[in-house]
Amino acid sequence: MSSTALDGALGLIREVPDFPEPGVLFRDISPVLADPAAFRVLVDAMAAGLPAGTDAVVAIEARGFILGAAIAYASGLGLVCVRKPGKLPAVRHRVSYALEYGTATLELPEDTIRAGQRVAIVDDVLATGGTVAATRELVEHAGGIVTGVSVILELAFLKGRDRVPGVDVTALVTT
């Protein structure tokens, strides 16, 4: 995979001002997902960056599901989907946390992570780190070990990686 191809894929990310509320600059990956070549390049780059020895991908609702499923498939790994409340028939654990524009809760499905299982967390953007930190808490509560975090875009000025100390964070682009 060439860096030119990856740069081209990343260049398709659209910035949407004042969404989901005033003052927030949303990064929309829909144009990347709609372009088959760009989507493949993105998935291949993220899959290549997973730490050795990872057993499964933990994907965060909702855009993380799209990326996580493709990365897990490409890497021959299992997939665990961390969900918003009310979507699971059996919940292992629940964590509430602060977002840059409100609060949220995530839930881990029952019987998805085994004690000692090594997992990588996948999402589209790392902003304040609250979502990734909550997901890490869910994984560790279940006895899993977070091997790393993989995102397309890291908003470094929000210092999200500081919320997951001791975990390697890989971002395809950092702004």
Alpha-carbon gap, residue 102 to 25, rounded angstroms:
15
To 5 degrees, how large is the angle CA 43–CA 49–CA 50? 95
Alpha-carbon gap, residue 123 to 49, rounded angstroms:
13
Residue 100 known to be catalytic? yes
Of these residues, 63, 83, 136, 163, which one is catalytic? 63
Alpha-carbon gap, residue 82 to 60, rounded angstroms:
5
Residue 92 known to be catalytic? no
Q: 76's torsion region: left (phi>0), alpha (psi -120 to 50) or beta? A: left
Question: What is the distance of C-alpha 102 from the center of its chain?
Answer: 19
Q: Which two tokens stand for residue 68?
A: 């996580």
Of these residues, 40, 92, 100, 118, which one is catalytic? 100
Active-site residue set: 63, 100
